[in-house]
A and B are shown apart, each in its own frame.
Chain A
Amino acid sequence: MEGVIDGAFADPVMQSQSVFRALMDALANPGTMRKLPVPRAIGTSMIPELVSTLLTLSDHDTSIWLDEVLRSEPANVQFASFHTGAPMVAEPGRAAFAFVHSAEAMPPLDQFNPGTQDYPDRSTTIVLAVPSLSGGPALSLRGPGMKDEVHISPSGLPGDFVGQWEINRALFPRGVDLLLVADGHVMGLPRTTRIAEGQ
């Protein structure tokens, strides 16, 4: 049934293309912040950055997973289904895209789908909302898309994030990709990025 359906992009084609461009740039340039267009009015309690990535990435052919808290609100489920048509899955391991509203609601990375050797592209892309993309513990990044080292300090990552990420990176070409969103911006951490604590 319809339920909560208002508050998607006013101009779906242009806005979702701008969001897609931002996500692509974020993943191509790990650790950099990209401006993320968001819808003006929001029909759900999801933060605007999650809504705009959800509307842009998901469609009838992509399975999506919302974290337990997001999923427990019918308005979120109705909104996502109505505007994307994406099948909603209960296990993160079956999701093409996962949307998580906080680190507390985030399952360990190995619960998501890492893809297969033959089809590594079938892995889960996780969109995680964090309190801020700066002001947290310092991390240094290395890998494709970066000249030398890139330094970031997002706040509110899961406790043992660096350790989990190391395991994820070792699966290459398999592995999940991560998008961090906050304050109208997105930062990409593709599976190829090496992350170390400190400067």
Chain B
Amino acid sequence: MQTQTSFDNGGRKAALDVLAGAPARALAELWDGWADKPEHSKVRGPEVGLVMVRGRAGGGGVPFNLGEATVSRTSVRIVTGEAGHGYCLGRDLAKAEVIAVIDALWQRDAASVEAGIIEPLRRLAAAVDGKRLEETAATRVDFFTMVRGDN
């Protein structure tokens, strides 16, 4: 199994990051439109569990446990043999399963998955974040100092 690690882990991670953060509806629509869905069997899950989220004292000091978050996860194997793993915050088992299948598919044909699913989701996320950023920027304080006194 160690021989399989020649995969581009950075690319796979980046794809999984985008998938986990994607709005469920947008992901479902893109997946519905995907023509060639591979048959898959579930290896583990889908299941809901908890991840204890950690912070750091002072932002950069000793780690501490902040509180838990619900997480859904699924592992699948698609007909061509690739195993895929899906993790996302929340209790959306269908989303976790779709992520797992897409992860397996990504290992077989990264280029198509990137073009058809990951890139559109990335653009959507950039647009949503950009709007949030601009709304926040409008509340930025532009300080100007008034001169007081005679001298």
Contacts and interface: CB of A to CB of B under 8 A. Distances in A.
Judge A-B direct contact (beta carbons within 8 Å): yes
A6 B77 contact: yes
Give the interface SS of chain B, mostly helix, strand, loop or mixed.
strand
A82 B44 contact: yes
B1 A3 contact: yes
Q: How large is the interface on B (under 10, 10 to 19, 20 to 34, 35 or more residues)?
A: 10 to 19
A8 B43 CA distance: 7
Interface residues of A, number: 11
B98 interface: no
Contacts, number: 22
Contacts of B44: 5, 8, 82-83
B5 interface: yes
B47 A5 contact: no
B83 A1 contact: no
Contacts of B5: 1
A118 interface: no
Interface string B5-44: 1000000000000000000000000000000000000011
A112 to B, nearest CB: 28
A12 B83 CA distance: 19
B136 interface: no
A6 B43 contact: yes
B2 interface: yes
A148 interface: no
B2 A1 contact: yes
Interface string A1-18: 111111010001000000
Nearest to B45: A12
Contacts of A12: 47
Contacts of B2: 1
Interface of B: 1-2, 4-5, 43-44, 47, 75, 77, 83, 85
